[in-house]
Structure 1
Amino acid sequence: MENPIQIENYKIQKPEIWATHVDDQQLIEKIKESDFSKKQMSEGRDYCYFLDKIYYTSNKENNEYVCMAYTLNEPSNLERASVMDVVVEENEVYHIHRISVLREGVLIDKIPDTKIKVLDSENQSSGGILSSNKKINITIKDLRLYDVLILEDSRIKAFTDRDFLRKEFSKYVWVSPDNYWAYGNFKFTFVNDREEPVTYKKTFFRDGQGNVLEPEVNYLKKGERFVIEEEDYINPVDASREIFPFIDFATESNWTDLSNYIAPMYEEIYSKTSLQEYAPNLVQKLDAITDQDEKLQFAIEYVQNNIYYIFNADEMNGHKPQEPAVTYENKQGDCKAKSVLLKVILDYIGINASVVLVNFHTDFYIKYYLPSLLTFNHVIVKIDYKGEEYFIDATIRDEFGLIENRGATYFMHYLEVKRDQELKERKAFRFPYYCIDEKVDFNAQNTTGKLKLSTTYRGNRANAMRRYFKNTNKREIVDSWNNFLFYSLNYSNDRNGTDVRNIFKDASIDIVSDDKKLNEFKIQYTATIENPYYTDQQKNRFLMYFDRNVVKASARDFMHKDLPFWHNFDSEKYEINLYTDQKIDAEEKYTVQESTINNPYFDFTSRKKVSKNGATVYIDYKPLVNLEIPQNDFETFRTAHHTVADSNFGLGIDIIEPGLMNRLKFSFKKKFK
């Protein structure tokens, strides 16, 4: 062993008394070939001889034990086994019980060949959460192809006084194993050693025909175990179209009791000190703003941009909210601290607001989970203003606008931090503005085309574009627009492989205006194009502009048996003008084609104006967002998007070439079309 000095993040010792105890001879006997194992390995599948996993919970600690033996028959698998990373939370210790290999029938202890390093691990996870942990790097020397690797370890999380929620409540979600592996024996055990009963709920299990069974709910008293075990097992789930079966374990409770448990902690914090006492300068600035809309905008952006966001994810469920006076004084805090400060400021200016618990990452599953405060990993603020509900994430930076013009945050489930609350669902909504409002002018004269795009972005789009233009090189931005237009004008089909900079001459893009109250970001793109027409293989010429962003490919291609389609597209409006000095076919089917779609989830119209030398299309798309499309409605919803994709997402005009023969050819084509 190269590092015999033990440190607090890991230990090498025997497992706990409640865990499995297997001696060397028993291990060798469990690693036996069978017809099932031979079949899996002959098909090139990695094989796990056994996996024994135990999750133990008490009011003092959580402990996750694993003992497993699996093949190293693939070079990639050998590489992953040779160097492993284990990330542990604060106060969590990684226990190594056994690292061995079975090589040609001989069991070899590999702990002497193991090097362990403890590194800082700091990763940015989804939802704006900074997770600061320790990474234990494990390197095992001299692993060989066709070895059987045996690992036995535990992860122990001992609760401190700060972990008051974990002391009071248990939460663990077991998910059925990856279907890449074949298992000779698979066993999972949940041990409840808490004083309180633990409820477990089995969800998305299936019958022999693959139909989802109704959820099954049962209970474990102190000292009781839940066991699930399979022999010669491959998880049959269709990973691309089905949700893996899972079991949710949680301390028995309900949402009302949970809200009554946590609400007093926040109430105590709200009333500690008045805003006037610890933030007189801020109060003075608020009082100087006479318009209530502007005062609300100032309050939100003050907390978002002036209070630095620091957050150890382990502490989300580990301590009470920081006092707003401390947050203001230190100018930093986690999501709870920033949200509490924002609520206190909003209380001062007379705007009704509450702190709410969310989990953006697992939002879909919350309705299937058992009630638990440990389900949530993020805190935001709900604001009731002028008859509307708004949700503000106080941890986000560089977002602007009066509250009705701000960007949208998408999620469905939340628990309001008030007394006597149930889990709530956020309402679906329509945007009060167009997220994209664009006008395209393309004029072709002789052999030259003049192209101009004038675009207004609002809401999330404005915030994103503002950041993009701030942080991106101008040449890169222009190239991005050129590449988009290369496809929109259909040049990808008649001059593919040509450098776009040689097609779009003198291309430029400029910010026209940036209104941070309306949250409108306006830009203009211009370019000159030699040979502006798309020419097909029969030498027919066309002016075309089809914006593929209008076509929602994710809706058209969606295939899942269990997940409903989550609807959160932006509202969009386009005016596309194509004009030429040539005569056009003013009656061509797709040139004059219009569409009207009205369904419960979006309204879409395309309207045309056609003249002898050009045409205009007006496209208007208004979705109802922040909702799941019920499966019974989805095929109708998908068909509507197919209609949009059927040449209703832009405009094309056919050029009638000059000359008697060309006109005769055109008349003949029209007659026999």
Structure 2
Amino acid sequence: MENIIQPDHYKIDKPASWAANIDDNQLVEYIQESDFSRQQTEEGRDYCFFLDKIYYTSDQENSEYACMAYTLNEPSNLERASVTDVVVEENETYIIHRISVLREGVLVDKIADTKIKVLDSENQSGGGVLSSNKKINITIKDLRLYDVLIMEDSRVKVFTERDFLRKEFSKFVWISPDSYWAYGNYKFTFFNDREKTIAYKKTFFRDEEENVLEPEINYLKKGEKFIIDKQNYINYVDSNREISSYIDFATESNWNDLSNYIAPIYDDIFSKASLKDFAPALVEKLDNISSKDEQLQFAIDYVQNHINYIYNADEMNGHKPQEPSLTYENKQGDCKAKSVLLKVVLDYIGVDSAVVLVNFNTDYYIKYYLPSLLTFNHVIVKINYKDETYFIDATTRDEFGLIENRGYIFFQHYLEVKPNQDLQIKKPHRFAYNCIDEKSELKVQNNIGELTSITTYKGNRANYMRKYFKNNNKREIIDSWNSYYFYTLNYNNDRNGTDVRSIFKDAKIEIISDNKQLNEYTIQYKSTIENPYFTDSEKNRFLMYFDRNLIKNNARDFMHKDILFWHNFDNEKYEFTLSTDLKIDTDEKFTVQECTINNPYFDFTSRKKITKNSGTIFIDYKPLVNIEIPNADFEDFRNAHHTVSDSNFGIGIDILEEGLMNRLKFSFKKFIK
């Protein structure tokens, strides 16, 4: 084996005493064909003869052991097996116990054919992500189709002082295996060697009729093990519609005790913080602002935009934040450091706030998890101001506005860093403003259309649109708007394949205003359209406006059995006028149709104003967001969205063509209605 590495990150050694002890003869005995294995091969599925996984935790280390033997019958699987990467953290070691293949009944040691490199895992350092993780690259030469590959290895993470939280608490989530694999024998063991009791919670396990069972909680004292042992096993979970069963292992505790553990750590940091002492220049600027609203805006803007966000993965393993004086002096820090500094500034200006722990990635599952501080991976700030509650992510950049106009963060669960706290749920929300407010007109004279649209974005939409206009060139932006109207005006159905630039002549887009306090960003789009009418196969002409963004297909198509639908849409308001110098059918269904929806989770109205030469639609959509739709309410919620999609998301006007035959055709249409 070519050894060009640093020995601290990996080594070749025997398994630990708590792991399995399998000799070569036993390996060959375990790798035996059966009716079950032959069936998997016939179905084109790769087959794992056995997988033995052990998770071991003590007060000094966390370790994972695995021994598995699986077929390389598929070329793609052979390719993946030939070159693999293992990422290890600081003070974590990857230990290889065995790399072998069973080839035509003969066991072949492949250690000598294995090349290992250790690489820095720093692919995000340019974005402020710092990590001392290492990537162990393993290349195994001369693997062949129909080999059986045997891999036996471990990962051992020895705790340092920086890992004080992981020394104090354990957390591990076992997830049922990928449904692709079939296993002759599948075994998982959780071994608690800690002084404290570990609870484990079985969630989303199912009975024989595939009904979800009630969660089950049990406990492991020091020296006790939890074991799953299955033969001829395939995980039949439908991952598109079901949550795979999992078991959450965590040191026995409750949210109240955990908050009492973490709060003194932060209080110790706050006790050392005096903004006047370490940031006199910042204090002077704050004192010169007379408005409390503007003071608050300045405080948030300062921490978000003037303190660089540095994500140090090693520091995030614990929960002890950097002192605010260092964050201010160095002008950088991770989410904990930035949030603590923001709270210190808010304390100075007399605004009530708290640091809170969140995990946006696993937010849905937190309600099912056992209480654990290791559930959280991010820190933000909760602000109570003028009888309203706001959440600010201090790591966000390029966000603007007084606090009520800033971007809204969608999530549910959080733990305040205060004594005697329980896990809290963020309340559902109604926007006090329209996130999109658009007024447009397509005015047609002499078969030439003039399209004008003025749109005001607010909140998250304004923040996003500023970045979009800043980071993209004008031509790309105009093409994006042209493409939007190509579909909205239904040109895709009578001139599909046509270059949109040839349809929307002299298209222009410009920023009309950018109000940083109101966080409102207004743009104007203009273009000229030759032949602006949509023409059907019978040469009938129409003007149409149907904005399919108003159809929430993810709500209409949602089919998951276990996960509730997460409602996180924006307030939207539109006014669109279609006008022409020709007569229109003022009684046509799609011209006059209106609707009113008052669902508990959203209000939607479409109103029309029709004249002999024009039609205007007014659409107002106001959802209740940051909420899961209960199963009992979901079909009514879905049907309400079906109503929106039933031609209530736009307007069409039919042109009454001149001439006797056209008048007769129109009269006949009226007659048969």
Per the shorter chain, which TM-score range?
over 0.9
SS in 2 for 1:465: helix
1:188-221 deviation line (CA, Å, top 9, x unaligned): 0000000000000000000000000000000000
Structure 2 partner of 1:515 = 515
SS in 2 for 1:200: strand
SS in 2 for 1:136: strand
In structure 1, give the amino acid aligned to 2:172: Y
Alignment partner of 1:669 is 2:669 = yes
Q: Indicate if the aligned counterparts of 2:5 and 2:116 stay in contact, CA closer than 8 A.
A: no
SS in 1 for 2:655: strand
In structure 2, give the amino acid aligned to 1:159: F
Displacement of 1:317 in angstroms is 3.1
Q: Distance in 1 between matches of 2:562 and 2:616?
A: 42
Displacement of 1:447 in angstroms is 1.5
Displacement of 1:133 in angstroms is 2.0
Displacement of 1:54 in angstroms is 0.2
Q: Distance in 1 between matches of 2:128 and 2:403?
A: 21
Structure 2 partner of 1:367 = 367
Q: Indicate if the aligned counterparts of 1:297 and 1:402 stay in contact, CA closer than 8 A.
A: yes
Structure 1 partner of 2:350 = 350
Structure 2 partner of 1:501 = 501
Displacement of 1:446 in angstroms is 1.4
SS in 2 for 1:112: helix
Displacement of 1:128 in angstroms is 9.9
Q: Distance in 1 between matches of 2:85 and 2:6?
A: 17
1:610-652 deviation line (CA, Å, top 9, x unaligned): 0100110000000000010011111110000010011111111
Displacement of 1:312 in angstroms is 2.2
In structure 2, give the amino acid aligned to 1:285: K
Displacement of 1:236 in angstroms is 1.4
Unaligned runs of 5+ in 2: none
Structure 1 partner of 2:409 = 409
SS in 1 for 2:356: strand
SS in 2 for 1:549: helix
SS in 2 for 1:163: helix
Coordinate RMSD, CA, aligned: 1.2
1:169-188 deviation line (CA, Å, top 9, x unaligned): 00000000000111111000
Q: Indicate if the aligned counterparts of 1:123 and 1:130 stay in contact, CA closer than 8 A.
A: no
Structure 1 partner of 2:382 = 382
Q: Indicate if the aligned counterparts of 1:55 and 1:191 stay in contact, CA closer than 8 A.
A: yes
Displacement of 1:123 in angstroms is 5.1
Structure 2 partner of 1:148 = 148
Equivalent residue runs for 1:278-357 within 5 Å: 278-357=278-357
Alignment partner of 1:531 is 2:537 = no
Aligned pair in 2 of structure 1 residues 631, 278: CA closer, same or farther (>3 Å)? same
Structure 2 partner of 1:547 = 547
Displacement of 1:90 in angstroms is 1.4
SS in 1 for 2:122: strand
1:503-549 deviation line (CA, Å, top 9, x unaligned): 00001110111111000010001000000000000111000011111
1:582-615 deviation line (CA, Å, top 9, x unaligned): 1100000111000000011000000000010011
Q: Indicate if the aligned counterparts of 1:102 and 1:149 stay in contact, CA closer than 8 A.
A: yes
Q: Distance in 2 between matches of 1:6 and 1:380?
A: 38
Structure 1 partner of 2:223 = 223
Displacement of 1:660 in angstroms is 1.5
With 113-122 and 639-648 compared, the bigger mean Cα shift is at 113-122
Q: Indicate if the aligned counterparts of 1:95 and 1:153 stay in contact, CA closer than 8 A.
A: yes
Q: Distance in 1 between matches of 2:631 and 2:515?
A: 41
In structure 2, give the amino acid aligned to 1:16: A
Q: Distance in 2 between matches of 1:619 and 1:479?
A: 25
Q: What percent identity do the matched residue pairs reach? A: 75
Structure 1 partner of 2:105 = 105
In structure 2, give the amino acid aligned to 1:579: S
Equivalent residue runs for 1:435-446 within 5 Å: 435-446=435-446
Q: Distance in 2 between matches of 1:74 and 1:211?
A: 34
In structure 2, give the amino acid aligned to 1:206: R
Structure 1 partner of 2:163 = 163
Aligned pair in 2 of structure 1 residues 522, 128: CA closer, same or farther (>3 Å)? farther
Q: Distance in 2 between matches of 1:6 and 1:588?
A: 77
Q: Distance in 1 between matches of 2:192 and 2:395?
A: 36
Q: Distance in 1 between matches of 2:551 and 2:163?
A: 48
1:303-329 deviation line (CA, Å, top 9, x unaligned): 011111111234223251110001000
Structure 2 partner of 1:565 = 565
Structure 1 partner of 2:481 = 481
Q: Distance in 2 between matches of 1:131 and 1:620?
A: 47
Count of residue correspondences:
672
1:347-369 deviation line (CA, Å, top 9, x unaligned): 00000000000000000000000
1:254-297 deviation line (CA, Å, top 9, x unaligned): 00000000001111111103100000000000000111111101
Structure 1 length-normalised TM:
0.99
Structure 2 partner of 1:657 = 657
Q: Indicate if the aligned counterparts of 2:299 and 2:342 stay in contact, CA closer than 8 A.
A: yes
Structure 1 partner of 2:60 = 60
SS in 2 for 1:583: coil
Alignment partner of 1:83 is 2:83 = yes
Displacement of 1:4 in angstroms is 6.4
Structure 2 partner of 1:399 = 399
Structure 2 length-normalised TM:
0.99
With 1-10 and 81-90 compared, the bigger mean Cα shift is at 1-10
Q: Indicate if the aligned counterparts of 1:595 and 1:605 stay in contact, CA closer than 8 A.
A: yes
Alignment partner of 1:271 is 2:271 = yes
Q: Distance in 1 between matches of 2:350 and 2:71?
A: 65
In structure 2, give the amino acid aligned to 1:332: Q
Aligned pair in 2 of structure 1 residues 341, 6: CA closer, same or farther (>3 Å)? closer
